[in-house]
Amino acid sequence: MIKGQQKYLRSSTEVNVLAQYKYICMSVFKARRIIDQIRGCSYEETLLILQFMPYRASFYILKLVYSAAANASHNMGLNKADLFISQAEVNGGPITKKLRPRARGRNYPIKRPTCHITIVLKDKSK
């Protein structure tokens, strides 16, 4: 199961499914270059784009898109073929800090950035 939360936003005419993946050990900039490619694409087109991208971030985003679509079809009864990505954003998370020993008893900081990815799916048939 993906760390994060699933939310369903209902308005009068349309249904939005929001999925978040939090605390991924990855730079925000590396994840944003993938998200910029899939924003506004249909679900099937997104799967094709993400499966053939050579970046590490595409695996995590593919898992998130799969999970959001599965929840939309199971919980909301929506057809996966009618879904598209209406919003996709990457925000920065906390930075994990460690110390690396160096010469003469000194240390060198290692900073591991994390990010939070949010994807909102909409049904284009409604």
- Domain boundaries, position 19: 6-123
CATH number of the structural domain spanning residue 90: 3.90.470.10
Distances (CA, A) of 82 to 20, 51, 105: 21, 20, 60
Q: Is residue 95 part of a domain?
A: yes
The pTM (predicted TM-score) of the whole model is 0.83
Q: Is residue 1 part of a domain?
A: no
Token pair of 62, please? 């593919």
Token pair of 53, please? 């991208």
Q: Is residue 94 part of a domain?
A: yes
Q: What is the pLDDT of residue 5?
A: 58
User: Band of the pLDDT at 2, cuts 50, 70, 90?
Assistant: low
Which of 10 and 27 is assigned the larger pLDDT? Answer: 27
Q: Is residue 42 part of a domain?
A: yes
Q: Is residue 19 part of a domain?
A: yes
Say how many domains are in the chain: 1
Q: Is residue 117 part of a domain?
A: yes
pLDDT tens per residue, range 41-99: 999 999 999 999 999 999 999 999 999 999 999 988 999 999 999 999 999 999 999 99
